[in-house]
Amino acid sequence: MGKIRQYDGEGIRVTYDAERCIHAAECVHGLPDVFDPNRKPWIEAGAAPAEDLAAVIRRCPTGALAYERLDGGPEETQAPANELRVVQDGPVYATGDLILLDAEHTEIGRDTRVAFCRCGASENKPYCDGRHTETGFEDPGVIGTPTVRPPGDEDSTHLTVRLRADGPLVLEGRFTIVASDGGTAEGAAGALCRCGASKNKPFCDGTHREIDFEANDPTAV
Ligand code: SF4
Ligand code: FES
């Protein structure tokens, strides 16, 4: 995890993790007076009411931006369902109640919004750092042959995402995958490719072993 910067406004504290920002610019378009990449500091948290800031921050798809209310206002709650939105030539945007586990099944984070690298080139895995653009990663982002276990009678609402060592993202818990063409697949367990080489994206097909994929994932401390 990168260095997290903090900006206090009227009744709200904004945090920003630069290493997780891929300049999707939802923030800049949403509140240009607050988020101005040409200014230093680029976040002026006092330039808008806390409620407006919170609404825009919740649209940051990577989780680079987060907030804490200092005025008793509502904190961010997770989306009612776990969703994995596959971006053409880019990452997978996950939203919901997300629990990140290392390869040993130890929790290393809990989040509501995460952009997961799927090209294999990020230097901040498992997070996307925008390198898919430099490397020319190409994938239409449609659903191949689904290799997920269909939902049953699970009653947990969270989704665990385990970083298999030098392998895929292993999903456990109810989720919906939404493809770039609007196609969907529902599941309760599955494995998403993050080496960039699967022939059945977004699912893992085992190719990571053939290419000796190295993930260099974070582990619990
Ligand atoms: S919305 Fe999030 S990912 Fe996009 S530019 Fe702002 S902070 Fe970065
Ligand atoms: S992680 Fe890419 S094929 Fe398994």
CATH number of the domain within which 46 lies: 3.30.70.20
Sorted by sequence, the CB contacts under 8 Å of residue 168 that are 6+ apart come out as 191, 192, 193, 194, 195, 204, 208
Q: What are phi and psi of 3, to 5 degrees?
A: -75, 130
The two three-digit tokens of residue 142, written as one number:
């449609």
Q: How far is the CA of 161 from the centre of ligand 2 (A)?
A: 15
Across the range 38-47, mean pLDDT stands at 97
Asked whether residue 107 falls in the same domain as residue 14, the answer is no
Q: How far is the CA of 152 from the centre of ligand 2 (A)?
A: 25
Which residue owns the Cα nearest ligand 1 atom 3? 21
Mutate to test the pocket of ligand 1, among 60, 129, 133 (most ligand atoms within 8 A of CB): 60
Confidence category of residue 71, pLDDT binned at 50, 70, 90: very high
Q: What is the DSSP letter of 117?
A: -
Asked whether residue 107 falls in the same domain as residue 56, the answer is no
Q: Report how many domains make up the chain.
A: 2
Burial class (CB in 10 A: 0-12, 13-18, 19+), 216: exposed
Asked whether residue 56 falls in the same domain as residue 95, the answer is no
For residue range 78-134, list pLDDT tens digits in order.
888 999 999 999 999 999 999 999 999 999 999 999 999 999 999 999 999 999 999
For residue range 185-219, list pLDDT tens digits in order.
999 999 999 999 999 999 999 999 999 999 999 88
User: Which of the listed residues 29, 44, 69 is the one where a domain comes to its end?
Assistant: 69
pTM for the full predicted model: 0.94
Asked whether residue 127 falls in the same domain as residue 177, the answer is yes
218 domain residue, yes or no: no
Residue 22's domain spans which residues? 4-69
Q: How far is the CA of 204 from the centre of ligand 2 (A)?
A: 4
